[in-house]
């Protein structure tokens, strides 16, 4: 069942808000194939399971920033709007731990499989970020090493170029030489 949800689809719904990687209630509801209202009701009934580091509600400013960065048309259609043009309720953002807690609140096989797929996406994202950070660190180290030995490395390259480049030989004469013989 996890194959039915492409990893890219999940990864594209992970946002960085308040310095945390989160997914929004509407995106999660779509993945779980339930209504956002039903998902939020289940959370409200079990609110003790969702402290602030597991779930928080976005501010109007955070929602506007999100719509600005990811395209108003892409996100605006996801949020039910009131007559005044804004969302009726501001979306909830779930951290990785909050999403894991959702599987205990939403008791369906689909919820379990979706949670497994989401957890794998978070792990993959962490690996990618760790690899990126490691590469950045190694490049900085190499840059420092090269900077210290710049003239030595340049001399080595010059020596290698001389060894690779053949020395020009005077052209060989073909035939015989007519000379003045006395």
pLDDT tens digits, 84-125: 555 578 999 999 999 988 878 887 788 878 888 888 888 888
**Whether this model's pTM surpasses 0.95:** no
**Residue 169, in any domain of the structure:** no
pLDDT recorded at residue 98: 92
Residue 3 in tokens: 């194959």
| Domain ranges, residue 8 | 2-135
Question: What residues in the chain have per-residue pLDDT under 70?
Answer: 1-4, 71-87, 139, 143, 146-150, 165-182
Number of structural domains found in the chain: 1
Q: How many other C-beta atoms are found inside a 10 Å radius of the C-beta of residue 23?
A: 24
Residue 92 in tokens: 């909830």
**Residue 57, in any domain of the structure:** yes
**Residue 171, in any domain of the structure:** no
Integer Cα distance of 151 and 54 in angstroms? 54
pLDDT recorded at residue 2: 43
**Residue 38, in any domain of the structure:** yes
Integer Cα distance of 106 and 153 in angstroms? 62
**Residue 106, in any domain of the structure:** yes
Characterize 62-90 residue by residue with b for buried, 16 or more Cβ atoms within 10 angstroms of its Cβ, and e for exposed: bbeebbeeeeeeebeebbeeeeeeebeee
Cα 5 to chain centroid, rounded? 18
**Residue 28, in any domain of the structure:** yes
Alpha helices, H only, 47-149:
60-70, 72-76, 96-105, 109-148
């Amino acid at each position: 069942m996890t194959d039915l949800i492409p990893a890219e689809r999940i990864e594209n719904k992970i946002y960085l808000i308040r310095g945390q990687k989160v997914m929004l209630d509407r995106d999660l509801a779509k993945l779980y194939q339930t209504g956002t209202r039903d998902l939020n009701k289940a959370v409200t009934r079990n609110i003790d399971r969702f402290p602030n580091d597991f779930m928080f509600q976005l501010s109007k400013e955070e929602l506007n920033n999100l719509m600005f960065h990811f395209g108003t048309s892409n996100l605006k259609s996801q949020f039910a709007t009131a007559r005044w043009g804004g969302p009726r309720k501001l979306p909830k953002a779930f951290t990785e731990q909050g999403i894991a807690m959702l599987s205990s609140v939403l008791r369906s096989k689909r919820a379990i499989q979706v949670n497994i797929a989401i957890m794998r996406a978070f792990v993959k994202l962490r690996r990618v970020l760790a690899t990126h950070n490691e590469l950045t660190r190694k490049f900085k180290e190499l840059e420092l090493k090269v900077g210290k030995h710049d003239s030595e490395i340049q001399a080595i390259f010059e020596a290698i170029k001389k060894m690779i480049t053949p020395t020009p030989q005077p052209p060989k004469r073909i035939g015989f030489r007519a000379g003045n013989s006395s």
